[in-house]
Amino acid sequence: MMNIHPLFWLVPVASVVALTMAWYFFRSMMKTDEGTPRMKEIALYVRKGAMAYLKQQYKVVFIVFIVLAILFSFMAYVLHVQNPWVPFAFLTGGFFSGLAGFFGMKTATYASGRTANAARKSLDGGLKVAFRSGAVMGLVVVGLGLLDIAIWFLLLNAFYTDEKTALITITTTMLTFGMGASTQALFARVGGGIYTKAADVGADIVGKVEADIPEDDPRNPATIADNVGDNVGDVAGMGADLYESYCGSILSTAALGATAFISSSYDMQMRAVIAPMAIAAVGIFLSLIGIFLVRTKEGASMRSLLKSLSLGTNVSAVLIAVAAFVILWSLGMENWIGLSFSVITGLAAGVIIGQATEYYTSHSYKPTKDISAAGQTGAATVIIKGIGTGMISTCIPVLTIGIAIILSYLCANGFELELEAASISHGLYGIGIAAVGMLSTLGITLATDAYGPIADNAGGNAEMSELGEEVRHRTDALDALGNTTAATGKGFAIGSAALTALALLASYIEEVKIAMKEAGQTIVNVSGQVVNAADATIPDFMNHFQVNLMNPRVLVGAFIGAMAAFLFCGLTMEAVGRAAQKMVVEVRRQFREIAGILEGKATPDYGRCVEISTRAAQHEMIVPSVLAIIIPIATGLILGVAGVLGLLLGGLCAGFTLAVFMANSGGAWDNAKKNVEEGNFGGKGSFAHKATIVGDTVGDPFKDTSGPSLNILIKLMSMVSIVMAGLTVAWSLL
């Protein structure tokens, strides 16, 4: 029936191993003690709030999915401008992504109380519970991702057996399940981001600035909402984001592989399609090795904790670099050495962007220290300095991605940059492979990411349960460790989004060619001859659609793409602003109306604040999310294929840079405040401290709402364009 390369079977095996290990980590976390009744109570509040929110989010998402599925079905079965599998692929992508978010968050909300309890005994006990629980998220994401890929690959291989173009059809069809994952991720990031920052900003403004009570103080009515927010935004949101990058990079690379090797044998094509999957599968085993390496002796120092955490990720990265050679060699790939170097390029880019992010956002370095110093002259100079720093910090990540693009292209293309028809698709395949390389050890990198909010929440639990100075000190240490890993993780999420979006951009061209073939359209190639769309090379394609930089469609598309990134950011910023204002009004009301609240004699109405965040997120996520879906569709219908390519390029360049700026400004403000709190420039309660708190508050939506949501935007716009290719080809205005 089919002729699948045996190495493919690594994929389902790795998937099952990942899910089994996730289950094992979850069970062992659940067996640990949850602590005092007060701790259990706090954890329950947070868990209930998080689940209640997730339910509301899934309601909105469900409606959107139904609408889109109907639209896709109409396009597939009535207009016949789309592959009949798309509606189903779309739904499974969304379903698995949602499932990953659900499991991850469930684990996180069970784990944070237990982390606080473990920290009562020892620092490394706390680390272990928090990190292993973070690993559940990491493993569930990669496990479910590969599971979905494996199922569809097997299913479609059973249906399409026409050797010549089967793999192209299969891989481009599978790509559309990325659209489901993208849509789910969009709502998770935007909704979660608005939720968490409405609560956080609201809690900070009234709590820290006006009432002068510390973070996570149980007297603050918004504190539970704030802790719930960490889970829905930083756990579920981040997970869905990376689930999408993970699947998107693997699937788009597979699609590029099927095209690049079309003139080789079917067998070689199959190897090229399986290569990204196999690298990802081996990455899971290596991530597990890394996860098990994260262990410490009793009474380990902070420095050694950080060391053991980076040991885990570094060992996984080095191993996958070595493994890439072995995998590509045993697959018998043409140019396996070059492609292995493409993998290494991606890995190295991820590491460099992570390091640059740390430099610009950690208060061990000059940029963030300077922001703290600016606090001496007030909030305005803190903001000016922070924005300046964030904008300057875009330089290294952009140059790194630029160099990675060129190197991975060159390595995959025999060190030749010329765009001969045949070789260009090999180069693009190399860019895709670099993205896969960057994401191959996602199992452990996401674990260190998800660890952050768990530790943060553990701190919140410890504070609210009044566990005493020493425990709080330990959870603070775990939290600080989490902040470092979170910054690196963010750089990583952005970098992988850029490379993935680029691979998707290339896949879009393939999708258009298939849609043209289905519609019986032909292409005028570079020699002026009319050829079958499926046989057209990339230069032919560019010539046919006049995709050059002097085509007004491309220019206008690029302008709209850049604007879309700003518009989307602006809408999410405003959403947080509005929601936070509501929260402030409510917290002030409670402080005013509930007698004895500030003396700790009366319990605040936590539920009311949770409700405000939930409603605001549910309500505010709709406009930006729907716009992100509509803009590429409208551009396609008005400006055609050339306009869409301009849009994707403009959106990618501006969106990536904007995302780095916002994430880094936000991170730097956060740590500038921490730097002052550590006693510099007057320490807690000083003029500089108040000024840096304003910076931190502004930075919250920068780094946790708008910035990360842009990752999704740049991928989603490509995904929507891919799914809509049939419609664009069938009709466009200009």
Q: Of residues 645-664, which lie at the interface with its own copies (CB under 8 A)?
A: 645-646, 649-650, 653-654, 656-658, 661
Task: Mark 351-390 with x for binding to its own copies (rule: CB under 8 A) and - for no binding.
Answer: -----------------------x-xxxxxx-xxx-xxxx
Using the minimum distance from each CB to its own copies, give the nearer residue, 428 or 515.
428
Using the minimum distance from each CB to its own copies, give the nearer residue, 401 or 514.
401
For the CB of residue 570, give the shortest distance to its own copies in the complex, in Å. Answer: 3
Using the minimum distance from each CB to its own copies, give the nearer residue, 107 or 357.
357
**Which helix (H) or strand (E) covers residue 253, if one does?**
helix 238-260
Among 468, 552, 600, 685, binds its own copies (CB under 8 A): 552
Please report the beta strands in 60-200, taking only residues with DSSP state E, as ranges in sequence order: none
From the list 26-34, 92-100, 555-563, 593-601, the region that binds its own copies by CB under 8 A is: 555-563
CA distances from 63 to 52, 57, 69, 78, 719 (A): 17, 10, 10, 22, 19
φ, ψ at 328 (rounded to 5°): -70, -30
Q: Does position 2 bind its own copies by CB under 8 A?
A: no
CA distances from 518 to 81, 181, 308 (A): 8, 26, 54
Cα–Cα dist 174/153, whole Å: 8
Q: Which of 729, 514, 640 is nearest to 79 (CA)?
A: 729
User: Residue 522 has what DSSP assignment?
Assistant: E
Segment 474 to 513, residues that bind its own copies, using CB under 8 A? 502, 505-506, 509
Beta strands at 530-532 and 522-524: parallel, antiparallel or unpaired: antiparallel
Q: Does position 569 bind its own copies by CB under 8 A?
A: yes
Q: Is 6 exposed, middle or buried (0-12, 13-18, 19+ CB in 10 A)?
A: exposed
Among 574, 607, 622, 682, binds its own copies (CB under 8 A): 574
3-state secondary structure 602-639: CCCCHHHHHHHHHHHHHHHCHHHHHHHHHHHHHHHHHH
CB neighbours of residue 263 within 10 Å: 10
Cα–Cα dist 68/186, whole Å: 14
Using the minimum distance from each CB to its own copies, give the nearer residue, 467 or 542.
542
From the list 31-39, 232-240, 264-272, 574-582, the region that binds its own copies by CB under 8 A is: 574-582
Contact 443, 135 (CB under 8 A): yes
For the CB of residue 619, give the shortest distance to its own copies in the complex, in Å. Answer: 16
CB-based contacts of 447, cutoff 8 Å, min separation 6 = 131, 134, 135, 137, 138, 139, 287, 291
Using the minimum distance from each CB to its own copies, give the nearer residue, 447 or 644.
644
Segment 677 to 716, residues that bind its own copies, using CB under 8 A? 694, 697-698, 701
φ, ψ at 378 (rounded to 5°): 110, 175
The rounded Cα 288 to chain-centroid distance in angstroms is 21
Segment 418 to 457, residues that bind its own copies, using CB under 8 A? 418-419, 424, 427-428, 431
Among 562, 628, 710, 730, binds its own copies (CB under 8 A): 562
Cα–Cα dist 542/311, whole Å: 46
For the CB of residue 266, give the shortest distance to its own copies in the complex, in Å. Answer: 25
Cα–Cα dist 682/228, whole Å: 32
Task: Mark 291-320 with x for binding to its own copies (rule: CB under 8 A) and - for no binding.
Answer: ------------------------------
Using the minimum distance from each CB to its own copies, give the nearer residue, 107 or 721.
721
Contact 448, 309 (CB under 8 A): yes
Using the minimum distance from each CB to its own copies, give the nearer residue, 577 or 607.
577
From the list 9-17, 52-60, 536-544, 592-600, the region that binds its own copies by CB under 8 A is: 536-544
Using the minimum distance from each CB to its own copies, give the nearer residue, 154 or 526.
526
Among 111, 149, 351, 576, binds its own copies (CB under 8 A): 576
Among 13, 99, 480, 567, binds its own copies (CB under 8 A): 567
Q: Does position 343 bind its own copies by CB under 8 A?
A: no
What's the start-to-end Cα distance of the chain, in Å? 45
Task: Mark 398-417 with x for binding to its own copies (rule: CB under 8 A) and - for no binding.
Answer: xx-xx--xx--x-------x
